[in-house]
Chains A and B, each alone.
Chain A
């Protein structure tokens, strides 16, 4: 969207609107639309309690989508999210079974397991040049296998520690759930890294043209590797928070986060081909998806209907503003 075509209208718009990405604006417009539709359905939809509750639920997806966004900005994708989430949650709970030290280390250990999965992905993508969607599918399968062996073989403790519960459901600042604060901190850190550090600029550079980034003397492989490790770690952290929220870990708890995390990033205007996108868009995407889920559950839509609506909405929105350029 060039500025000249919009010149007439844009001239009267506030500056921040003129500079905003049309995709992000569309996403926010959809959020407003969803809130409006929801309020038609139920009065309590616009109450502060309900909205804060939504924000809390959104923060789990937000943490996971942050890692996904980093990877998508590189032009790659991370399909190991489901079992990175589950592994983070299960390993954190499992560590808690080993006395007070285990309880203290539960959260770092869970995240560490996610980072390990991410590192394997990173080695595969960056150094072995295996397409990311393939290697991450494979590590996902391996992580699943490990978890099945572990849980089936030793039947571990599956309840979350108090610290995990506090992180996910407690209140440090009255009225604002801790999970939301965590998301805000991670989000702020991501914005800082992406826009103010050389690492962040490199991520965009690699996403735009990896060869050019490499030729400029950047160690592109290290950057890709770190991005995947961070993505794995954040997925696992999301799992830890989820386990705290539900106060236990479960086998398939991550399955429901793969499509939403990709969708949130892409609906937020980040190009699936990499190199373009803002964190604000991802925030919009996460909230958009959470609200959509929430409305469907308020309407008591069965799982089948949710999956269908979900897929259709994502394809429709992508067709609206996520298309690849007409080639050649």
Chain B
């Protein structure tokens, strides 16, 4: 196979997600009362990156054939924490940001340690740790409140040169600093290998444990960046159980839309980002078409259901009935 065709086949999921996103965004902006303006794009980007960060976090874990049902709660916890810490002078703010990111890393590392070294099932382990993270968030912010360094927040949620949304620039930076090095490192490859076939990877001497641990840990970090951004947008922290839950849910939808296989070993965080942006745009379509907001949860649920059912198309490629049970 020629190089470019191989590349195309490899990136099919990502490109498909990009395509869906572009189509949806065109429909969205062409029906938006304000049209395609910098303001509309900025608002959409700010909402989209929140989910994009959480979806990237979910991708890392899903690649290892695991699942992290606590990402939404790490997102909430770091939001609550940031509403305490990211305030004051520039130095204090910077230290606050570092502390929040460190807590995210720690949460991810705890998940990873329990799943990999404790040998518990990712679903149960992360539901339980999710409860703990939510509890801590609730301790920090029993009532919505707190504040954030507003100049800093505005800078990161505003526009660069009055055109490009700053949040997208940050997203790009995070991709370049976290995802690209990870996916090209030995650890990243180990994570992919573990997701694709753990036994084979183990037999070949791939450091699967370290790879998986790195994936879970970085997932915590990415969810924390999402939590930071939530604080930047809302200026407050709030431990809202439903919100954390829906971010977990939507991250899975975004991952699936982004062409990441839930069975592990396939897909990229870039795809998940476009999946997240597409999912958000689809959800917002209801508003530009003047539907009652009441319908939004149902609409998003149905999109999620359709997205996960798309995976069933793999069944058409099954040649032997026994392949169902692999």
B119 touches A324 (CB 8 A): yes
User: Which residues of chain B are within 8 angstroms of A322 by Cβ–Cβ distance?
Assistant: 120, 124
User: Is residue B315 contacting chain A, with contact meaning CB distance below 8 A?
Assistant: yes
User: Is residue B325 contacting chain A, with contact meaning CB distance below 8 A?
Assistant: yes
B130 touches A272 (CB 8 A): no
User: Is residue A46 contacting chain B, with contact meaning CB distance below 8 A?
Assistant: no
Residue of B nearest to A319 (CB): B118
Which residues of chain B in 257-301 are interfacial with respect to chain A, using CB atoms and an 8 Å cutoff?
262-263, 292, 294-301
Nearest CB of chain B from residue A96's CB, rounded to whole Å: 23
Tell me which of B151-159, B218-226, B304-312 binds A.
B304-312
User: Is residue A278 contacting chain B, with contact meaning CB distance below 8 A?
Assistant: no
User: Is residue A196 contacting chain B, with contact meaning CB distance below 8 A?
Assistant: no
User: Which residues of chain A are within 8 angstroms of B114 by Cβ–Cβ distance?
Assistant: 315, 319
B135 touches A305 (CB 8 A): yes
Nearest CB of chain A from residue B320's CB, rounded to whole Å: 11
Partner of B125 from the list A302, A318, A325 (CB cut-off 8 Å) is A318
Interface of B is mostly: helix
Nearest CB of chain B from residue A255's CB, rounded to whole Å: 7
User: Which residues of chain A are within 8 angstroms of B256 by Cβ–Cβ distance?
Assistant: 134
A169–B114 Cα gap in the complex (Å)?
A: 41
User: Is residue B129 contacting chain A, with contact meaning CB distance below 8 A?
Assistant: yes
Tell me which of A2-10, A136-144, A186-194, A285-293 binds B.
A136-144
A263 touches B128 (CB 8 A): yes
Interchain Cβ contacts under 8 Å between A and B, 10 examples: A135-B305, A141-B300, A144-B297, A145-B297, A210-B325, A272-B124, A307-B138, A311-B135, A314-B131, A323-B120
Seed contacts A310-B131, A318-B128, A324-B119; 5 additional CB < 8 Å A-B pairs: A140-B249, A145-B300, A215-B322, A304-B138, A318-B120
Interface of A is mostly: helix
Residue of B nearest to A325 (CB): B119
B129 touches A311 (CB 8 A): yes
Q: How many A-B residue pairs have CB under 8 A?
A: 171
**Given contacts A258-B127, A259-B127, A259-B131, A134 and B252 within 8 Å (CB-CB):** yes
A61–B292 Cα gap in the complex (Å)?
A: 35
**Given contacts A141-B249, A142-B301, A142-B305, A324 and B294 within 8 Å (CB-CB):** no
User: Is residue A306 contacting chain B, with contact meaning CB distance below 8 A?
Assistant: yes
- On A, residues with C-beta under 8 Å from B are 77, 124, 128-131, 133-135, 137-146, 148-149, 152-153, 210-211, 214-215, 252, 255, 258-259, 262-263, 266, 272-273, 302-312, 314-315, 318-319, 322-328
A315–B130 Cα gap in the complex (Å)?
A: 11
Nearest CB of chain B from residue A118's CB, rounded to whole Å: 15
User: Which residues of chain B are within 8 angstroms of A134 by Cβ–Cβ distance?
Assistant: 252, 256, 262, 308, 311
Partner of A307 from the list B134, B307, B309 (CB cut-off 8 Å) is B134
A138 touches B301 (CB 8 A): yes
B202 touches A318 (CB 8 A): no
**Given contacts A129-B315, A145-B300, A315-B125, A211 and B130 within 8 Å (CB-CB):** no
Partner of A308 from the list B124, B131, B203, B299 (CB cut-off 8 Å) is B131
Which residues of chain B in 132-161 are interfacial with respect to chain A, using CB atoms and an 8 Å cutoff?
132, 134-139, 142
Nearest CB of chain A from residue B321's CB, rounded to whole Å: 8
A302–B135 Cα gap in the complex (Å)?
A: 10
**Given contacts A130-B311, A145-B301, A326-B119, A153 and B294 within 8 Å (CB-CB):** yes
Nearest CB of chain A from residue B141's CB, rounded to whole Å: 10
A9–B322 Cα gap in the complex (Å)?
A: 46
Residue of A nearest to B296 (CB): A145
